[in-house]
Amino acid sequence: MNHLTHIQTNKELLETRFFILRLVREFFWKENFTEVETPLIVNVPGQEPNIVPMKINIHNEKIVEFSGFLHTSPEYAMKKMLAAGFENIFYLGKCFRDRESFGGSHNPEFTMMEWYRVGKNYVDIMNDAENLFHFIAEKTEGHNGIDKINLAKIKKQWQRKTMKSLWHEFLQINLDDFLTQEKMFELCVGKKYNVSKEESYEELFYRIFLNEIESKLGIDVPLIVHEYPAQMASLAKLLEKDSRYAERFEVYFNGLELANAFSELTDADEQESRLREERNFREKTGKDVYDIDQEFIGALRAGMPESAGIALGIDRMAMLFTGCQEIDNVITLPMSKLF
Amino acid sequence: MASTSDLKKGAVIKHQNDLYVVKGMEFVNPGKGSAFARTKMKSITSGKTVEVTYKSGENIDIVEVSRQKVQYLYKSGAMYSFMNQETYEMFDLSEEDLGDDAKYLKEGIDVDAIIYNGSVVAIELPRKIQYKVIEAPPAVKGDTASGKVMKEVTLENGLKIRAPMFIKENDTLLVNTTNGEYCERVNE
């Protein structure tokens, strides 16, 4: 009776979660978005170096076997839709990532909200994110199961800071001087991190960011961190005023990352070369290597409009509104109860 | 040398010239780019809890510790007294030493003591512990119909947890000590 008990114990939290799902849809319908579906089973998975897709075998009626993957995000499919002329679209549904914790702030099967706006940039998406949370806060105020302290913080006007300003604020370091792998490596060595020369810029960056900055972010009010070093944004457009940084942002609340957004890269060649780099990195680090999705590159080549998009973790959003510390408690039957 | 895949609750590690007991850990993938192990751990010398994030696969200095069965006897003031079941030696741990584990202790229960350099640095609770319910508000007619299925009950050691409506005083329950959740009723 473990399943029944889990659902009974968390019934109020689950009701709140489902109410939030409904409000998310209402918000985007109000904004004239179309809810779209993308295939959950794909032939080519995402290329991100440290995300492990779940492999599955499918058979047709003649029992011919095909290898596929559960999607790790709907990003490639949604961008193909943008290239085909869809404009403001959102996907609200499951994504799958292998080798993640069963519980805590992860579940290998989780719910993702991804939305794209055509002809807009990442500042418009920042506004969407803030407006969405404000809308939900307003509609859930006074409901059972809503955390009053978190709600009060969400309702405030959010802070926006550049990544560079955070490094200055917390570490008195000018990030401009540490934008190469060599420089970041030296900085990590100086700070006594146990690093190796083989590590990518991003890995070195996160050593410091995760240990010395992240937990202090978004404590009194949600924080949008924007303008990431260009090396850390393989699907994003570079800043016009300073090409060392990219138009990417993340939302942090109580030290937890909630969402990741970009002004989308629309240049097919540039995209292909960045995906090739990621593929090489997978190869070098002994990970499974996947083909580059040529259909995705082809769609960009055919003409993907200027656009911006974001991926938002809905389970974590529910945790935040309910003040719940454990992701399992806002999921009907999490992995930890199934296996 | 050990790596992040050997990190687990109760492991003792050397970090920046201090020893820490791992209290919990989780793998994180920031910004889709990299894999890290976020570790919550408590300093054995200062008792302070810190969060350290290691890169996945990074070498970690895990220290050899031994474990011994000990029995929890009673609480006096802010100290919790235990007895080593092999040597019958008694020792005390403070609320600070025990952290969140303190609230799950009940008199007479067996736990594992983690011993480093001859002294007890932490305890490890069984994953599930049985408790007798000493206080459970009776279910009111209409509760279930209105969707209320859980209530707060008080256990023999004073711990309060949420349990299903049908739980009564004197029932025996199994409680998960990692998250304080009700597991099942195990009346003999």
pLDDT (tens digit, 9 = 90+) per residue, A258-281?
Answer: 898 989 889 999 899 988 988 988
Nearest chain B alpha carbon to A105: B26
Contact B120, B114 (CB under 8 A): yes
Q: Are both B59 and B94 inside the same structural domain?
A: no
Which of A1, A106, A211 is opposite residue B52, by nearest beta carbon? A211
Q: Are both B112 and B159 inside the same structural domain?
A: no
Q: How far apart are CA A24 and CA A192, in angstroms?
A: 44
pLDDT value at B123 more than 90: no
The predicted model gives B131-156 an average pLDDT of: 78
| CATH number of the domain enclosing B82 | 2.40.50.140
The predicted model gives A124-146 an average pLDDT of: 94
What domain range is B92 assigned to?
Answer: 66-124
User: What's the pTM?
Assistant: 0.82
The predicted model gives B154-176 an average pLDDT of: 91
Is some CB atom of chain B closer than 8 A to the CB atom of A128?
no
Backbone angles phi and psi of B54, in degrees to 5:
-100, 150
Nearest chain B alpha carbon to A192: B16
Q: What pLDDT does B67 receive?
A: 87
E-assigned strand segments in B85-159 = 90-94, 110-116, 119-124, 128-135, 150-155
From B63, B83, B103, the end of a domain falls on B63
Q: What pLDDT does B148 receive?
A: 60
Average pLDDT taken over every residue of chain B: 84
Q: How many CB pairs under 8 A join A and B?
A: 87
Q: Are both B146 and B176 inside the same structural domain?
A: yes
B171 CB-contact burial (10 Å; exposed 0-12 / middle 13-18 / buried 19+): middle
Q: Are both B119 and B132 inside the same structural domain?
A: no
Q: Are both B31 and B52 inside the same structural domain?
A: yes
Q: Which two tokens stand for residue A70?
A: 């559960």
Instruction: Classify A23 as helix, strand or coil.
Output: helix
Containing B117, the helix (H) or strand (E) segment is none
Q: Are B32 and A51 an interchain contact pair (Cβ–Cβ within 8 Å)? A: yes
Higher pLDDT, A339 or B56: A339
Q: Which parts of A31-159 fold into alpha helices (H)?
A: 75-83, 122-140, 148-155
pLDDT value at A70 more than 60: yes
Hey, what amino acid is at A110? F
Is some CB atom of chain B closer than 8 A to the CB atom of A281?
no
Higher pLDDT, B30 or A227: A227
pLDDT value at A222 more than 80: yes
Q: Are both B118 and B133 inside the same structural domain?
A: no
Is some CB atom of chain B closer than 8 A to the CB atom of A54?
no
From B13, B39, B63, the end of a domain falls on B63
Q: Are both B118 and B74 inside the same structural domain?
A: yes
| Count of domains forming chain B | 3
The predicted model gives A96-105 an average pLDDT of: 88
Domains and CATH numbers, chain A: 2-156+278-338 (3.30.930.10)
pLDDT confidence band for A47 (50 / 70 / 90): confident
Q: Are both B85 and B116 inside the same structural domain?
A: yes
> Which residues on chain B place their C-beta less than 8 Å from a C-beta of chain A?
16, 24, 26-36, 38, 51-53, 55-56, 58-59, 147, 149-150, 162, 164, 179, 181-184
Q: Are B32 and A200 an interchain contact pair (Cβ–Cβ within 8 Å)? A: no
| CATH number of the domain enclosing B37 | 2.30.30.30
Q: Are both B86 and B47 inside the same structural domain?
A: no
pLDDT confidence band for A53 (50 / 70 / 90): very high
Lowest mean pLDDT segment, chosen from A71-75, A121-125, B101-105: B101-105
pLDDT value at B140 more than 80: no
